[in-house]
Every structure is written in structure tokens, then in C-alpha cells.
Amino acid sequence: MKIETILFDLDGTLINTNELIIASFAHTIEKFGDRPYTREEILDFIGPPLIDSMKKVNKDKVEDLMATYREHNLANHDKYVEAYPTVVETIQKLKEAGYQLGIVTTKLNDTAKLGLKITGMDQLFDVLIGLDDVENAKPHPEPILKAIDQIKANPMTTMMVGDNYHDIEAGHNAGVQTAGVAWTIKGREILEAHNPDYMLEEMSDLLTIVGVE
């Protein structure tokens, strides 16, 4: 069935915030953790909601951890964040071709909007569902279903694009088509194991899939 609506995860999918996230976790763990964490351990924290990761570091100081992380993340945001190759022009072409576009992220709305603004994409999306808009984060279907509801989209003609298995699982759970991105820092094998309908080598592959030239 023809795709009419495309929902995107933000971090690791449209914008490269990986080094920012790793730096912010390392800074926070240095202050509150019981030991230094390896880069590999920190990579496991990319994707799930921040609170879940912080509980694993120090469940008694979750509020302090989150405040320290967010302070570092915002202070260093502009220095690190950039769009992945072909992302901006692909989103612009999809918008011009009349597709409904949305962001479904586990970030808080304000930080998500900041990332879109820095990369010049803040006017290109019809809906943004952040962590503060839902009771249940991905892989629960709620964020995707909420986005679909807000823009009155049809799940049958909707696709979810993401870099984390949570995105693919959420898409399956919401009954939409799914696409994984090969540039995921987690390794494409992890995504492929969750059987996305498509695997994008770069974002412009989407144009071929939906038939926009």
C-alpha cells in the first residue's frame, strides 16, 4: 500500500547526537556513578528514556543525575549536533511532495525542537511527539498512535523510521510499516534482527521507496 505518512525518530536517525549523548552520560557518571563506564556500556543507554538509564547508574539519585545530564546536554548541544548526510534534502523533498511528516522521540519536546532548529528542520514536520506527550515510551505503540491521531493519518499508509530496535518494535506494535537506518551506532545487525520492512543505507533511499524522484 502507498505510503502517505512518515514518522521519524530524531537522535541517531535524523540528527547525530551520539557524541553529545556519550559526553553527557560520561560527565554525569563521573559525578554520580560508583565507577567509570566504558563507551560500550554507555552505548546501551542510547535509545531508552533517560530515566530508565539513570536508574541503572544510581537509583537513589535519579533526579540529580537527570538534572546534571540535561544541563551538560543543553550547554554543549550546538557544538555537537548535526544532521546525517542526505537527511535535510530528503525531508524537504518529501515535504514538497505532500507527505505528512512527524517526529516520534524519547526526548523531551524542548530538546527535540532545539535539535530540529539547529539543523534547519524546525518547519518541516506536521507533528512532534516527545516523552512529555505520552504515558508509555517506545517500544509501546502509544507515541506512534498519538502522532497518527494528531495528524489524522492512516496507520496502513504510515511508516516509522528509526535507528533503534525500540523504533522498529513500536512500529510493529502500532501496525505501521518500518524502516531501519544502517548508520545506527548500535550496529545494523541488531536492527535487522527485528525485521524492519526496509533498511536505509542513507536517508535518500526513502525517496526511491515511496516513489519521489
Active site members: 9
47 within 8 A of 186, measured Cβ to Cβ: yes
**Beta-carbon contacts of residue 130 (< 8 Å; ≥ 6 apart):** 103, 105, 106, 107, 108, 109, 112
Query: Residue 80 phi/psi, 5° resolution?
Result: -105, -35
Tell me the CA distances in angstroms from 1 to 20, 156, 160, 175, 188, one per residue in order: 38, 7, 15, 13, 26
Task: Kindly report whether the peptide bond that precedes residue 139 is cis, defined as omega within 30 degrees of 0.
Answer: yes
Q: How far is CA 29 from CA 46, 48, 58, in A?
A: 14, 17, 9
CA distance 1 to 43: 36
Per the listing, cell 544502517 goes with 182
- 166's CB contacts (< 8 A; 6+ apart) are 47, 48, 106, 137, 138, 139
CB distance 137 to 160 below 8 Å? no
